[in-house]
Amino acid sequence: MGASDAPIVEKAGAPARRRGRTRVGDAVFKGMTRIVAFGLVMLLVLMIGVLAADGVRPFREFGWRFLIGRNWNPVAGRQSFGALPFIYGTVVTSTIAIVLAVPVAVGLALLLNEVARGWLANIVAVLVDLLAAIPSVVFGLWGVFVLQPAMDRTIEPFLANTVGKVPLVGPLFRANVSGGFQGGDVFTAGVILAVMIVPIVTAVGREVVSTVPRDLREAALALGSTRFEMVRMAVLPYSRSGIVGASMLGLGRALGETIAVAMVVGNSLGIHVSLFNGGYTIPAVIANEFREASSEGLHKASLLALALILIAIALMFAALSRLLVRRSAALVSGGPAPPATELARLEGAA
């Protein structure tokens, strides 16, 4: 009896030992994730602290005029610094990128998940992934030698002659202050950024759309919906919060892009209504002037202050994205409720 009882004791004790090892593993994993999260927060705090050590000097010297000033003169003895043209250029180019890129990216995500199958989906997915792997400087060279001439000769004159004559939005698409369409401009920079952020928005959008429950799609189709109606009533409402989050990730990439934008934006001070005028962005001016900036005076400190402003803009949009995601999630009530409401409405109409 004693010999036969031994295996039973071992089998009964094995789950307890496994539970003990699992608890230890969970504790180690939890501790490591906390350390990593704390390290990321401390890295951000350290980065802001290093920038603020010298970057607060322009604010002490000029006050809030540094944010609203339009002059940028680093010449010793006549130094004057204002950040408004760079803030304007950064926000406008990023806005153009989001407006152009998000519809294309969402369309690609829906194409790959809802329409295309087999070899076509694989080819499109590979091309989108390859687009994300292209270095920024290559995008800049493509913009200088291919996109910018096409914009100057064809696209911008066409927009000026058509959309430029429409009330309200027309001033955005008129010829630049020199009366032509030559040279870099804000609109071309926005198009470059749109091409660069399409892959990241598409990749996240694909993952979001793929999480839509299959039952939701089948319920819409069972009620007689076409594929387009199924996407409109079931897929998009359920994916709304995720698509908003993907768009904000793309916006973060657009805000910080440097080389490609610096090559096509025109690098000229000024705030113009027309998108066909040259401009400047915060990353571009930092990249162009930081190596030559002297610690004497306020030139280098002003560039560091611009970096602080860029971080503040990025954090502001990140906070806004969290609010939008929560708002979108609340609208769909966790997902299935609004689509079910739409389906019930469609059933009643039928």
CATH code of the domain in which 264 resides: 1.10.3720.10
Residues 231 and 206 in one domain: yes
* 255 within some domain: yes
Distance CA 341, CA 144 (A): 50
Averaged pLDDT for residues 116-137: 83
* Tokens found for residue 261: 């934008």
Contact by Cβ (8 Å): 90, 313: yes
Residues 37 and 150 placed together within one structural domain of the fold: no
DSSP characters over 32-100: HHHHHHHHHHHHHHHHHHHHHHHHTHHHHHHTTHHHH---EE-STTS-EE--HHHHHHHHHHHHHHHHH
Confidence at 343, pLDDT banded by 50, 70, 90: very low
**Where residue 77 falls among pLDDT bands split at 50, 70, 90?**
confident
Residues 149 and 46 in one domain: no
Do 184 and 298 lie in one domain? The reply is: yes
Residue 3 pLDDT > 60, yes or no?
A: no
Residues 163 and 37 occupy one common structural domain: no
CA atoms within 13 A on the CB side of 291: 3
Range of the domain at 187: 59-349
Q: What is the pLDDT of residues 18-76, one digit of tens each?
A: 666 667 878 888 899 999 999 999 999 999 999 998 899 999 988 888 999 999 988 87
User: Same structural domain for residues 253 and 123?
Assistant: yes
Q: Is residue 192 part of a domain?
A: yes
**Residue 290 pLDDT greater than 60, yes or no:** yes
Does 297 fall in a domain?
yes
- Mean residue pLDDT of the chain comes to 84
> Mind listing the pLDDT tens digit for each residue in 156-172?
999 999 998 888 888 99
Count CB-CB contacts under 10 A for residue 127.
11
Average pLDDT value for residue range 187-194: 95
Place of tokens 């009330």: 167
Note whether 45 and 168 are same-domain residues: no
Predicted local distance difference test score (pLDDT) of residue 310? 94
In this predicted structure, what is the pLDDT of residue 233? Answer: 86
| Total number of domains in the chain | 2
> Is the pLDDT score of 334 beyond 60?
no
In a domain, 259, yes or no: yes
Query: Where does the pLDDT of residue 269 fall: very low under 50, low under 70, confident under 90, or very high at 90 and above?
Result: confident
Contacts of 190 (CB under 8 A, 6+ apart): 92, 93, 94, 95, 96, 97, 100, 275
Compute the average pLDDT of residues 327-345.
Answer: 53
- Same domain? 185 vs 43: no
Using DSSP's 3-state secondary structure scheme, residue 243 falls into helix
Q: Tell me, yes or no, whether 2 lies in a domain.
A: no
Judge contact between 207 and 243, C-beta under 8 A.
Answer: no
Do 89 and 110 reside in the same domain of the chain?
Answer: yes
Q: Which of 40, 55, 70 is the last residue of a domain?
A: 55
Question: Would you state the pLDDT for residue 337?
Answer: 40
Shared domain for 69 and 41, answered yes or no, is no
- Residue 131 to residue 253: CA distance in whole angstroms: 14
**73 - beta bridge partners?**
80
Token match 């926000």: residue? 91
Residues 152, 35 share a domain: no
What percent of the chain shows pLDDT beyond 70? 86
Whether 68 is covered by a domain: the verdict is yes
Are residues 34 and 171 located together in one domain of the fold? no
Q: Is residue 172 part of a domain?
A: yes
- Mapped onto helix, strand or coil, the DSSP state of residue 224 is coil
Check residues 5 and 204 and name the one with the higher pLDDT.
204
Q: Confirm whether 6 is domain-assigned.
A: no
